[in-house]
């Protein structure tokens, strides 16, 4: 499996109080799968994605990416593994506002240890004409595709997306889902957290998270 989680827990402490956000989640995502993580707000979806991406460290359990252990390592080691194997689309966006679309891509390529230009990703996603644009100059659909370009520019084995269509109209959402399906068909393992019925319908499988637990 490209992505695997074994009995992942995440709890947070505030004074004497403890909140358990993720409760013993185990999952596997294979190459070429588009899997949807559904559940109400506050169910732990974003926290689970952060643990899978290595931007947060689980309180218990293990995460594996492309055969390498993500959890239980230093922050620097997790960042290096993430740069090699994982693309992320955050709900708040993943483009730096003071860089053009192309410069955002070049920065991510450098972080991933690559050299050269932006590659064919902008053309693949239909926004090659917006390479010089600033993020604030993009429409909602263009911004979503640019965010996807940033996530995919290093050809990651895994894509983790948190509500990627949350601010899109139905037409832009359908287009983005077509792009995600095309990337899955090329072998990327994709996990999308979403409330959207259209996103759930597009998935190969739907996993439901409720109060931090995966439920049938």
- pLDDT value at residue 9: 97
- pLDDT value at residue 91: 64
pLDDT at 214 over 70: yes
What digits encode the pLDDT tens for the residues 27-63?
999 999 999 999 999 899 999 999 999 999 999 999 9
Q: Hey, what domains does the chain have and what are their CATH numbers?
A: 3-215 (3.40.50.300)
Task: Give the pTM.
Answer: 0.92
What digits encode the pLDDT tens for the residues 157-201?
999 999 998 888 899 899 999 999 999 999 999 999 999 999 999
**Structure-derived torsion over alpha carbons of residues 109, 167, 158, 190, reported in degrees to the nearest 10:** -150
pLDDT at 1 over 80: no
8 Å CB contact between 70 and 84: no
Burial class for 64, CB neighbours closer than 10 Å (0-12, 13-18, 19+)? middle
């Amino acid at each position: 499996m490209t992505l695997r989680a074994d009995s992942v827990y995440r709890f947070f402490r505030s004074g004497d109080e403890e909140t358990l956000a993720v409760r013993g989640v185990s999952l596997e995502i294979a190459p070429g799968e588009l899997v949807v993580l559904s559940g109400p707000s506050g169910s732990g979806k974003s926290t689970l994605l952060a643990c899978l991406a290595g931007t947060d460290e689980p309180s218990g359990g293990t995460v594996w990416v492309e055969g390498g252990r993500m959890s239980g390592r230093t922050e620097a080691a997790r960042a290096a593994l993430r740069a090699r194997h994982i693309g992320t689309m955050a709900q708040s966006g993943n483009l730096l506002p003071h860089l053009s679309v192309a410069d955002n891509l070049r920065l991510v390529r450098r972080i991933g240890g690559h050299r050269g230009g932006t590659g064919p990703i902008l053309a693949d996603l239909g926004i090659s004409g917006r390479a010089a644009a600033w993020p604030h100059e993009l429409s909602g659909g263009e911004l979503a595709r640019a965010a996807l370009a940033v996530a995919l520019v290093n050809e990651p084995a895994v894509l983790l997306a948190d509500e990627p269509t949350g601010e899109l109209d139905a037409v832009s959402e359908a287009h983005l889902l077509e792009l995600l399906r095309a990337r899955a068909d090329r072998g990327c393992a994709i996990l999308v957290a979403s409330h959207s019925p259209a996103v759930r319908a597009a998935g190969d499988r739907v996993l439901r998270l409720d109060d931090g637990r995966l439920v049938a």
